[in-house]
Structures are given as structure tokens and as C-alpha cells.
Amino acid sequence: MAKKKVIIAGAGLSGLTLGTALAQRDWDVQIFERSLELREVGAGLYTWENGLKVLETIGVFDEASQNVEFITNLDMIDKTYGLMHSTKFTNESRFCVIPRREVHKALVRACERAGVKIETNAETVSADPSGNVQLRDGRTFKADLIIGADGVHSNVRNSLNIGIKEVVGNGAWRALIPRIEEDKTGVAEEHWNAYRRIGIAPSTDQYRYIYLTGMTADEEALSEPFNKDAWLSSFPHLESVLERIDQCRLDKNFYYIYLNSWKKGRVALLGDAAHGMEPNLGQGAGVSITSALELAKQLEWNDIDIALNCWEMLMKPTADKTQIWSRIYGAAAANWPKELLGIRPEIISNAMGSENIDLMLSTAARYVTGLEVAVR
Ligand SMILES: Cc1cc2nc3c(=O)[nH]c(=O)nc-3n(C[C@H](O)[C@H](O)[C@H](O)COP(=O)(O)OP(=O)(O)OC[C@H]3O[C@@H](n4cnc5c(N)ncnc54)[C@H](O)[C@@H]3O)c2cc1C
């Protein structure tokens, strides 16, 4: 019997994960990537139990996570250095920060091993529900299934004329900084002062990951070039960390993507193209690669139409909830009424201490594909 064929637009973390998982299930996989080369940005990737299980399942964990340090505590700290909340991690609920480039490189190699064909400098401009795609250079292709894994600004999604893209007035700088002996081990921190936040986390034995997030309207904080003094004025106690920033990358705005359904005929949207969100919970990629593996499993067990229905039924509630809680977290961080900032630490501390809120915030981390699969 001829192999089933899938065409994937986008060689980001979602597209590469799905490509690997489907090729491992004997699909003929073609990925078209718009960029001239296969690469990721130089930053860290918060990776929780859900994402780690995916990397393990498709066989890229060892390569991606070399010298990565596992984190035992994630602390939220207010401007007076008071601890608002500490989340603890165990061997069953792991958390670490893997350099993005390592995850991406390991996924590209896994694709190669599994026989995935990847073509760069190949932009998808449109797809139609009958399973055809068109590239910018005019070529057209047909497949049993087309996947739009082409990020928040997805051409595939736009060409289907579905979904809503919402721009959020918050953004972030990201960098990997050299690690020094005085750095804490096993502890990640997020420091809050008014509407600015700085997160610092151990990554590998050589690097720490730092992100600096604030409102887009806060020009001093979120305009190029990076203004170290603006951030020092809010976080003077983090001077030793800020001084180590050399190269950093700015995302001036974040985006939410909302879809009633992730599929139309033989086209499905995956990852940020389907459920882009503010990175407040560090779960955008985690949910995306979990969804990719879940889709591959459903396609192994079911006909394509049934598989797409089962996949969406299983994954969409988790993605929807993660978007909602990312938005709530973002509102507490960046939209809190100015006159009530003084009581924010106490309110956050009480809220984060509640078991229900903890459960909601960790919805994505707890969705480990393979354990919750009930539909065949
Ligand atoms: C500041 C910031 C911090 C974040 N931190 C974390 C974190 O710590 N942990 C976490 O889990 N998530 C995090 N995220 C979210 C995470 O980055 C995304 O959810 C994840 O990268 C989505 O992967 P993707 O493959 O769906 O999309 P993308 O990473 O956007 O990849 C899309 C790919 O498609 C290509 N492409 C685009 N258009 C086309 C086209 N028309 N044709 C062909 N190819 C195309 C692009 O070049 C790219 O290679 C963060 C996001 C931001 C902005």
C-alpha cells in the first residue's frame, strides 16, 4: 500500500515534531520552510513535563538536553525581594530550560533520521481543504493531509479565512547569558516591579536564560537598542545579571490566535498557527509539540477525518485553558490597576497558594500525551 503523504508548512518546533512522529509511523513527510536556513533564536525554552515526555518519546531528549540543569523551585519575587510564591518540581513534574537551538537542531536531526524531506526557501502561500498547497514560487502540490505549522502569522490559516489574530501590547527581550559560580543552582526566579518582570533561570552548565518583559508602550524598556539602565532602575539588585547581557532579541508584541476549529477538510493548523498565546506560562511550545505527537498518534490509529476530530477533541481544551490562564497571568502582571499595585504581592501570594489556581496554571504541564488518550 502507498504511504500516506503529509505536507507541513513550517520547520519550527511544531512542524519538526509532527514531521518526525509521522515519519516514524511510516508516513511520507515533506516540510516546506520559508527561511533560507533551518534555525531557532538564541534563547532558552521553558520545558515542563509535557514537553519533556514528547522529546523523550520521539527520541530527541538526550541530544537536546545535554548538560541541562533540572529546576526544583520557580520563585515569584516582588520589588521588595519578598517571596510571593514558590512552585516546587519533582521527578514526576520536571521543569528545565533547554536552549532553543539545541531542541531545534535535535529535531532537525531526528527528521533526517526518520526520512523527512525538508526544503528551505520554500514559502507556502495558501492551502485548500481538498489537500492542495501553493508555494510562493508558483509550484503546487497535493497530499492526503496539509499542516499549517507556520506560526502566528500563518499564511495557511489566512488562506482558509478562519481565526482571529489579536495583538497584545506586551513584549519581551530574551537572552542566554554566561553562567558564573555565584549563580544559584536549581532555582528559577521571576522578579516583579510594577509592569516590568525579569525572569532568570539556570539552563545548562554554561548558560542562564533571562527574559525581560513589559508593556509595549513602555518605550524605555521595550525599544531597540536594549536599554540596560532602564531595567537597572527597576531591578538594581539584578545588576550582576543585567551586566552579562550581550546579545538579546526583542519581541515587541505578543499575539493570541483563536480558532473555533483547527481544521478545514484536509488542512489542519498546528502550534502557534492554531493557538498562539502570550508566553506568560512558558507553555506555547510545550502545548504545540504535545499536540503534534497527539496528532501523529491519532493518525496512526484512525482514518484521517476521524483522527483530526479525535485530536482536536483531546487537545483543544488544554490549549484553550492555557490561553485563558496565560491571559489572566498577563493581566495580573501588566494590567493591574496602578493605585492597587501596593496590595498586589499579597493578592498574588494568596491566589497562587490556592490549589485550584495551581491546577489551572499547570493544565498544559499535566497533559502528558499517552496517559490521557481515551479515544481510538
Ligand atoms: C518571548 C517568547 C518567549 C517564549 N518562551 C517560551 C517558553 O519558554 N516555553 C514554551 O513552551 N514556549 C515559549 N514561547 C512560545 C513558543 O516560542 C512558540 O509557541 C513556539 O515556538 C511555536 O512553534 P511553532 O513551530 O508552532 O511556530 P514557530 O516557532 O513560529 O515556527 C514557524 C516556522 O514556520 C516558518 N514559516 C512561517 N511562515 C511560513 C510559510 N508561509 N511557509 C513556510 N514556512 C513558514 C517559520 O520560518 C518558522 O520556522 C515563547 C514565545 C515568545 C514570543
Q: Is the CB of 189 under 6 A from ligand 1?
A: no
User: 162 and 105 in one domain?
Assistant: yes
Range of the domain at 289: 5-167+254-366
What is the arithmetic mean of pLDDT over 149-153? 98
User: 231 and 110 in one domain?
Assistant: no
Please report whether residue 55 resides in a domain. yes
Please report whether residue 375 resides in a domain. no
Query: Nearest residue CA, atom 29 of ligand 1?
Result: 12
**Residues linked to residue 38 through DSSP beta bridges, in sequence order:** none
Please report whether residue 374 resides in a domain. no
Give residue 56's Cα distance to chain centre: 17
Does the structure show a pLDDT above 80 at 371? Answer: no
Query: Among the atoms of ligand 1, which is closest to the Cα of residue 13?
Result: 25
User: 236 and 262 in one domain?
Assistant: no
User: 245 and 130 in one domain?
Assistant: no
User: 106 and 158 in one domain?
Assistant: yes
User: 163 and 230 in one domain?
Assistant: no
User: 88 and 61 in one domain?
Assistant: yes
pLDDT computed for residue 31 by the predictor? 98
> CA gyration radius for the chain?
21
Q: Give the residue from 192, 225, 251 where a domain finishes.
A: 251
Does the structure show a pLDDT above 80 at 253? Answer: yes
- Whichever domain contains 225, its CATH number is 3.30.9.10
Please report whether residue 373 resides in a domain. no
Q: Is the CB of 150 under 6 A from ligand 1?
A: yes
What is the arithmetic mean of pLDDT over 120-131? 98
Query: Nearest residue CA, atom 26 of ligand 1?
Result: 271
Band (374; pLDDT cuts 50, 70, 90)? very low
Q: Is the CB of 278 under 6 A from ligand 1?
A: no
Band (376; pLDDT cuts 50, 70, 90)? very low
Q: Give the residue from 204, 227, 251 where a domain finishes.
A: 251
Does the structure show a pLDDT above 70 at 372? Answer: no
User: What percent of the chain is modeled with pLDDT above 70?
Assistant: 98
What is the arithmetic mean of pLDDT over 3-30? 98
Give residue 142's Cα distance to chain centre: 29
Query: Among the atoms of ligand 1, which is closest to the Cα of residue 97?
Result: 8
Q: Is the CB of 34 under 6 A from ligand 1?
A: yes
Centre of ligand 1 to C-alpha 350, Å, is 33
pLDDT computed for residue 262 by the predictor? 98
Query: Nearest residue CA, atom 31 of ligand 1?
Result: 12
Please count the structural domains in the chain: 2
What is the arithmetic mean of pLDDT over 193-219? 98
User: 309 and 196 in one domain?
Assistant: no
Query: Among the atoms of ligand 1, which is closest to the Cα of residue 51?
Result: 11
Query: Among the atoms of ligand 1, which is closest to the Cα of residue 48?
Result: 11
- Whichever domain contains 350, its CATH number is 3.50.50.60
Mean pLDDT for the chain? Answer: 96
Name the E strands within the chain.
5-9, 28-32, 44-48, 73-77, 83-88, 95-99, 117-119, 124-128, 132-135, 140-142, 145-148, 164-168, 170-178, 187-193, 196-202, 207-215, 249-251, 254-258, 263-264, 267-269
